[in-house]
């Protein structure tokens, strides 16, 4: 549905809302807000509640979405190339994902899977993004500790029953991302709940404790339904960030502004290999 919805002229906000509404219609809940990250933005871009931005023919779009049922999470992503000129870059991350999943089984080392991702992407003439990685998940926990890196190195042995998101990123840039465009931050999660004094903060905190636990949420999820004034929302977010009750997720941008593609799936490790849950 998302793949069909992403077209030149379509608003990001409409696509994000559609992904999130469809998730709920299907009887699942959001594991995190829909991310729609364009070109050199690798991840963590989600439209603001009133954002008017539309996709253009110059966009390479990463769609990253997460759903959960009773806390069990699927984290999945793919790339839509509206330019029509980045087939190889898209193929590099897709092929890296395919090769990685084929290698995942009990006893396989995460660093070996990272090496396969790196070699596949480099084989296409691109670089993997070294400071983004796949991650083990547990119910209601998106990042449960161990990683699947996008480069060689790592000695965690995969175990039967582990659930991993695997997410190769390929770039024409240097192969690193950093937090930028912090004025565009839309995604937050609860890290350390404790009593607060400001009424606005209390309203937001109570909602997050009840509805999200540690799972990320967007401003769209709380405005206007939980806090119906933007200044109040900004005040509450600022207050909760300052007290380190919330953390924020600014957009992650490739350091040399290289184009970025991503492919991601969620798999459970079974005795004979990885079974994709997507």
Instruction: Return the SS3 of 113.
Output: helix
Question: Taking CB under 5 A as the rule, does residue 40 contact Mn ion?
Answer: no
37, 68, 73, 75: which one binds Mn ion (CB under 5 A): 75
- The interface region with Mn ion, picked from 86-94, 98-106, 238-246, 257-265 by CB under 5 A, is 257-265
Which residues are identified as catalytic? Answer: 64, 75, 135, 143, 167, 264
State in angstroms the smallest separation of the CB of 213 from Mn ion.
17
Please give the full DSSP string across 123-183, using - where no structure is assigned. Answer: HTT-EE-TT-EEEEEBTTBS--S-EEESSS---PBP-TT-EEEE--EEESS-S-EEE--GG
Cα–Cα distance, 217 to 87 (Å, whole number): 32
Phi and psi based region of residue 125 (left: phi greater than 0; alpha: psi -120 to 50; beta: remaining): left
- The interface region with Mn ion, picked from 72-80, 87-95, 173-181, 187-195 by CB under 5 A, is 72-80
**How many other β-carbons are positioned within 10 Å of the β-carbon of residue 159?**
12
State in angstroms the smallest separation of the CB of 155 from Mn ion.
21
89, 101, 121, 165: which one binds Mn ion (CB under 5 A): 165
Question: Taking CB under 5 A as the rule, does residue 94 contact Mn ion?
Answer: no
Question: Taking CB under 5 A as the rule, does residue 32 contact Mn ion?
Answer: no
With beta carbons less than 8 A apart as the criterion, state whether 35 and 43 touch. Answer: yes
Question: Could you list the residues that contact Mn ion (CB under 5 A)?
Answer: 64, 75, 77, 165, 167, 264
């Amino acid at each position: 549905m998302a793949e069909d919805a992403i077209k030149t002229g379509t608003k990001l906000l409409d696509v994000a809302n559609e992904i999130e509404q469809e998730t709920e219609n299907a009887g699942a809940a959001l594991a995190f807000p829909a991310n729609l990250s364009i070109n050199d933005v690798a991840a963590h871009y989600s439209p603001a509640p009133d954002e008017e931005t539309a996709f253009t023919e110059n966009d390479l779009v990463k769609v990253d979405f997460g759903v959960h049922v009773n806390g069990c999470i699927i984290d999945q992503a793919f790339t839509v190339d509206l330019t029509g000129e980045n087939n190889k870059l898209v193929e590099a991350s897709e092929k890296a994902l395919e090769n990685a999943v084929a290698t995942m089984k009990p006893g396989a080392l995460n660093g070996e899977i990272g090496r396969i991702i790196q070699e596949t992407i480099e084989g296409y003439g691109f670089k993997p993004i070294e400071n983004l990685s796949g991650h083990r998940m547990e119910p209601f926990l998106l990042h449960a500790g161990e990683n699947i890196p996008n480069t060689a190195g790592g000695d965690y042995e995969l175990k039967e029953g582990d659930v991993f998101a695997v997410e190769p990123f390929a770039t024409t840039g240097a192969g690193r991302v950093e937090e930028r465009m912090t004025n565009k931050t839309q995604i937050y999660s609860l890290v350390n709940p404790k009593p607060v004094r400001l009424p606005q903060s209390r309203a937001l905190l109570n909602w997050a404790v009840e509805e999200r636990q540690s799972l990320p949420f967007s401003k769209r999820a709380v405005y206007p339904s939980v806090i119906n004034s933007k200044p109040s929302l900004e005040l509450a977010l600022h207050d909760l960030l300052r007290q380190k009750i919330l953390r924020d997720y600014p957009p992650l941008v490739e350091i040399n502004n290289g184009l970025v593609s991503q492919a991601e799936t969620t798999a459970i490790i079974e005795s004979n290999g990885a079974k994709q849950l997507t």
